[in-house]
Structure 1
Amino acid sequence: MKNIIISEFGVIKKVGDYESPVDSFSEVFVSDNIFARIKDFVFTHTNDLLFTYAVQRAKEQVKVKNYVGLLQISDNLQIEILPKSTAGSAKEARQMLLKMLQTFSTYQSLTKAHLAISKLPLLEVYVTVFLDELEKLLNLGLGRNYEPRESNEQYIKGKILIAENIHQNLLNQQAIFVAYDDFIYDIPQNRILKTCLAKLKTFVFSNATRQRIWQYLSVLEEIPLSDNLQQDFTKSQVVSPHSERYKHILQWAWVFLSEHSFLPFSGNSFQMSLLFPMEILFENYVGQLFRKYLPDNYEVKLQDRRKHLVVSHKAQARFRLIPDIVIEKQQNENKEVLIFDTKWKLIDASKPKQNYGIEQQDLYQLYAYGKKYNARHLFLIYPANENFTQPLEVFDYEEDMVLHVLPFNLLNEGSVEVRKIMLS
């Protein structure tokens, strides 16, 4: 499978349009045939949220926007879009993305071991997570259910179906037609897993991953493939003794089995999108790290919705304010409020005359938050980069309200960055 690796906001170009082109993390050159397939996909399956197509000096190009993750173009072509920020290589960028995904409940099965294999293509990392989940399940034991069966048997079990027995065995006195419940592994969940493994064996992976796929296929040899995946997924959502055990692995299985699994914005309840807007990933990552590492006397609220810009208009509050992170620190009988907003944008500390690249509207927004929440300390958090490694000098809104603009190094341990921010 052809795997194209590119950074967010990177550009894909046709190799035939340039003399001696050299690939980089942000600029990738592909054959005319592959470019045509990508172009067709852009115009057929996606909208301008993901890509922009342009022609400059008679040379075509497709520019990636700020969605990151994995995009399947066809059976043998996929694009990995990775975070830009401070990552110096695709491996670092992939590791950064996996770290941020860990803070979402669906992806909590991503572990440090999976971060360590970030040199592998993103698809193989995901498959490794699926196989690890399957290994855990097999160690616990596959689920089984009682399923109704009707058949001719040599001995009585369950109950005899008299009418059928006369019809089937009038001349065969050695058999008895019975109905019984069989405790079997042939259940929807296991059929889904077998079908998923059968599909994954057709992909090109490392030898170690391929061996694991074949190994688990042999373990599930007696289980049939699903002949109706949608029906089996629907049945598997019914609450049962197996629900919790199979929850995460079925979500991963759906990713690999759904025809639309690598496209965003699916409405299916099992859908686990593999494309993510970087603003949401960054905001959620920072917020969850505050929740994880701050002491108990700090209350962390994400996407707080208690305040409005207009208290009353025609007897209703209007223009709701939704700061990314609100932290309330209890000190004796007093409560201090801290407001944080995250922005996925590279700013430059060496350009004060250009306001470092900070948007004026973001400062207006923080000022409104400060007024409405009665907060003295406000914070704008941007990803650290080579031109932004230290906090900017404090911005004074008023005598009793200041704004701190801070870098967040995604390559550091989360606890380190949270401590740095709270001590700023």
Structure 2
Amino acid sequence: MPRAYLAQENDLPALRGRLNIKRQFTTLAVRPDRLACRYDVLSADTALLRIMKACVVLLRHYARAADTLRRLNELRSLLVEVSDVPLSHLPWSQVRIDRTNNRWETLYNLARLLLKRNWQATHHESLAQHGITLLFPMNDLFEAYIAALAKRAVRGTKWTVRAQAGGLYCLSEDGKEGKPRFQTRPDLLIERDRQTVMIIDTKWKRIGLHPEDTRSGVSQADVYQMMAYARLYHCPQVMLLYPHHAGLGAKILNAGYRILAGEERLQVASVDLVPDEAAIVEQLIHLIAINTHRGDGIGAP
């Protein structure tokens, strides 16, 4: 931790540093056993670390993960020598970044963003302050976004959309009380009259249409997964849904395949995320309706 020499004043039994003459001959005039001393002490209780400790305390109020809370508690214990300062009285003007503490500059700038509630945006601004790189789990975001819009697409119809539902197992152990193994959680179950008529699995991947690639970038493992879903859920239609891009052409992708040794079908489709949400909902209505062959009622008010 960076430390600095801080000026201290104290009444001591022996001289340390310099004598505070004014205090010695006024306040301590009747205390010959005490000397008014002025001295410097190497301390971690600096303006920089007071701000860092305030940031740790703030983050503890927002943290939810046990590992994050544990790390924040460890940091707070390391800063036990540092004074607690209210947010409104943090010594911003006293912070000096020099060669002794310059490796803390990035952390200090991040703490300033957090403590001043200067939340960074996700869009580009040429005059914005420097922030940090934000990494999003795009596959999870894509899945949640499509699930929300698919539910909107079937609102007011006989169709329902359930996300991360199902829960059927692929295998069970041998024996009378064989335990089930390998539970499944399809991204989206499209149901009608309590029957699963379509399963959609979203994939945040870039697929292509290359003549030399007979699979068009579709993962073989993903195909096996969808075949397992079709079998377990007795579902006639399963779909791998990808984000659309210019390389796929102007129209959204909707390629169909028959699963051999059965009646189930696999669709490889795309959805264009560039238009507004209403247009994306219309795309989902079209994909669900045309691929289930029972599209009556979809999109009806």
TM-score relative to the length of structure 2: 0.49
Larger strand percent: 1
Choose 1 or 2 for highest CA Rg: 2
